[in-house]
Amino acid sequence: GAVVSQHPSRVICKSGTSVKIECRSLDFQATTMFWYRQFPKQSLMLMATSNEGSKATYEQGVEKDKFLINHASLTLSTLTVTSAHPEDSSFYICSASGDSSNYEQYFGPGTRLTVT
Amino acid sequence: QKEVEQDPGPLSVPEGAIVSLNCTYSNSAFQYFMWYRQYSRKGPELLMYTYSSGNKEDGRFTAQVDKSSKYISLFIRDSQPSDSATYLCAMSPAGGGNKLTFGTGTQLKVEL
Which residues of chain A have a CB within 8 Å of the CB of B2?
none
pLDDT of residue B96: 61
Which residues of chain A have a CB within 8 Å of the CB of B103?
43
Mean pLDDT, range B66-75, rounded to an integer: 95
Residue B74, pLDDT above cutoff 80 = yes
Mean pLDDT, range A46-69, rounded to an integer: 92
Mean pLDDT, range B47-76, rounded to an integer: 93
Q: Does B112 touch chain A (CB under 8 A)?
A: no
The 10s digit of each residue's pLDDT in A18-54 is 999 999 999 888 888 999 999 887 888 999 999 888 8
The 10s digit of each residue's pLDDT in B87-102 is 999 998 877 666 888 9
Which residues of chain A have a CB within 8 Å of the CB of B92?
103
A55-58, Cβ contacts within 8 angstroms, sequence gap of 24 or more: none
Q: Band of the pLDDT at A79, cuts 50, 70, 90?
A: very high
SS3 B2: coil
Phi, psi of A82, rounded to the nearest 5 degrees: -95, 145
Residue B78, pLDDT above cutoff 90 = yes
Interface test with A, best of B21, B98, B99 (most A CBs within 10 A): B98
Give the whole-angstrom CA distance, residue B20 versus residue A7. 35
The 10s digit of each residue's pLDDT in B12-45 is 999 999 999 999 999 999 999 999 999 988 899 9
Cis peptide before B81 (omega within 30 of 0): no
pLDDT of residue A100: 59
